[in-house]
Structure 1
Amino acid sequence: MEDKKTRSNQERTAATRGALLAAARDLLIRKGYAATSTPEIVAAAGITRGALYHHFADKQDLFRAILEDEACAVAADIESAAPVDLPAREALLAGSLAYLKAMTAPGRTQLLLIDGPAVLGSAAMFALDARHAGRTLREGLRAAVGHGLPEDTPVDALAALLSAAFDRAALEIEAGGDPGQFQAAMARLIERTVAAA
């Protein structure tokens, strides 16, 4: 009986948290961080304000959880497109295209590349990226060392520079740029950076 009750409580907790995250994500995309209030979030989620503060310390904590979910989804898409058995260069190319595609999810570019840095600051966003998409890029570049990248390649610095290029491409696409053009440009950048084995 206790197991059923525990499971039921866990399910309610997960449902409440999910409702808060979904409602907040929608409002943040439509209105922006500054214009979105916690009373609006709880009303949209159909829960009490107390429930919000049971799960999150404040609006910024809720926002941070949304960004973590978004960054996890991007990394998962990259990893799915670039399995470990792909040769390094092909994995980097596949991961590059997967990143650009993943960033076209409605609101994702705004959340991760515009509002995130404005609200949490660059250091927090660099750390978030380092755990997710940035991690996949560093891993891909490390796998390419000796297989198209010279042994003395400063991988972390190269990853930071390529990451900036990927983010700029995502912003350009979000602003109406031709996705095909940016995908082709990023593929060419990877091809020029990592020699064919």
Structure 2
Amino acid sequence: MNAAEIERAVRRLGRDIAERARAAGAAGDVAIVGIRRGGVHLAQRLRRELARELGAEPPLGTLDIALYRDDLAEQGAAPVIGPTDVRFPVQGKTLVLVDDVLYTGRTVRAALDEIVDFGRPRRVWLAVLVDRGGRELPIAADFAGARLEVSDRDDVQVRLVESGAPEDAVVVKPRRAP
């Protein structure tokens, strides 16, 4: 995907989420939570789209799931932990959990575990820019900008200008050997 395709995908995600929120009677209760690292900038972009679609800017939060991962023991003695920032009550909200790529489902599982530490949302929808298949857990995206079928030997990278990339792009590359 190039920059224009990513922009169109984010716009479409915003329209689709707003439409479903209105249909569910939840347009005023939507909040967005980006998963560090890849989902944070996408969540910010999606927030702007939802503000345009819903007429009000939804609350935005970020999660760092490092301590909630099921492979924490494999990460070494001191995992790198970034900030989690959820400054709104999640109780009763329709949360839109945002990540860049959905692959095994383990990141999303960890994010769900962390979210419930903040309260019990009414519902959680998952929005991703790329669903690449290859699930290890029964997790599915409610909203996906693109669906790709790639080999487990490939890596799907979302590169955004906010993260220092020269231009927005989604790139599929062979995974490096461990």
**What's the TM-score, normalizing by structure 2?**
0.30
Normalized per residue, which structure has more strand? 2
**Structure with greater proportional helix content:** 1
